[in-house]
């Protein structure tokens, strides 16, 4: 996040002081916009193409994570079904 600079409240007496402050703010906004644009473009830099081995490794890792998540959710639902599911009515 870009740092926010707090300026003390100034009481401007002339139109020239207001114009100077306006120009200062415009310059700061342009600098912040350039910095923001640079950071934004760095976020979305295209990653290099991975080799076939890296692709296969990534697929296996993601698959194991998905199966592990499924098994964990199943276990939680089995043990804590009263919290997650419909409660059985007692007759």
| Domain extents in the chain | 53-84
Residues in Cβ contact with 18 at an 8 Å cutoff, skipping those fewer than 6 apart: 12
Q: What's the whole-number mean pLDDT along residues 36-65? A: 87
What pLDDT, on the 0 to 100 scale, is given for residue 11?
Answer: 81
If you ran DSSP here, which 8-state letter would residue 14 be given?
A: S
Q: How far apart are CA 69 and CA 66, in angstroms?
A: 5
User: Higher confidence at residue 56 or residue 5?
Assistant: 56
At 1-43, the pLDDT tens digits run 556 666 666 788 899 999 999 999 999 999 999 999 998 888 8
0.95 exceeded by pTM: no
Please check whether residue 84 is in contact with residue 76, taking contact to mean a CB–CB distance below 8 angstroms.
Answer: yes
How would you label 15-45 residue by residue, b for 16+ Cβ within 10 Å and e otherwise? Answer: eeeeeeeeeeeeeeeeeeeeeeeeeeeeeee
């Amino acid at each position: 996040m870009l740092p926010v600079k707090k300026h003390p409240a100034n009481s401007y007496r002339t139109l020239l002081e207001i114009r100077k402050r306006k120009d200062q703010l415009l310059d700061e906004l342009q600098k912040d916009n350039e910095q923001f644009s640079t950071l934004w473009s760095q976020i979305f830099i295209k990653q290099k193409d991975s080799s076939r081995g890296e692709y296969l490794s990534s697929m296996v890792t993601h698959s194991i994570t998905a199966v592990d998540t499924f098994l964990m959710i199943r276990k939680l639902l089995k043990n804590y079904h009263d919290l997650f599911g419909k409660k059985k009515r007692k007759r």
